[in-house]
Amino acid sequence: MHLRDYIETEEKYGHSAKEYKEKKIAVAEETLKILGHIKDPENYYRRRRKTVEAKYPKYKYLITRYADGSTSLNGDFVAYGNGWVGRESEKDPREGYFEFVAGRFVQAESPCKTDTDRLLAELDAYHAELNHAYKRAESDSDRDFERLGMLLLKENLFSWWD
């Protein structure tokens, strides 16, 4: 709140030269923006993940429900024909074309092996891009913390509270 008040006061009553005043306000606004990002660290990952997910079909998860009430998400699947194409994510994962029979995924003969292989390759690309996106999100977060600490706060903190 103090930084927002500082910006508002500087805009209304600041008497510095125009370029200097605008620079002070821009630095304070950048600091607020970074503080907003840091306030919700998961947003770094959500934003990057959202970009990747927009390029691919909406994958569904195989949800396993246990007797104790807990659940587990296993694998990624996309609807294809009368079944699903995807890969389980267990110790010994199955991949390919599946049909849902008696409440279970049963591996079946694919109506088109070429399409199944294409969808599995797309799934691999999706996971590779997600992995890259997570690494970029970590880099974004590290860069924000470095910028905030080394440049913005170190150089400006005392002038904001004088």
Indicate if the pLDDT at residue 120 is higher than 80.
yes
Confidence of residue 151 (pLDDT cuts 50, 70, 90): low
- Sorting pLDDT into bands at 50, 70 and 90, what band is 68? confident
Domain ranges of the chain: 2-49+139-160, 57-137
**What are 44-66's pLDDT values in tens digits?**
899 899 999 999 878 887 777 77
Among 40-44, 51-55, 82-86, the least confident range:
40-44
pTM: 0.66
Residue 80 or residue 149, greater confidence: 80
Average pLDDT over residues 80-97: 87
Secondary structure letter of residue 111 according to DSSP: S
Residue 162 confidence (pLDDT) above 60:
no
pLDDT at 116 exceeding the cut of 90? yes
User: What residues contact residue 125 under an 8 Å CB cut-off, 6+ apart?
Assistant: 56
Residues belonging to the chain = 162
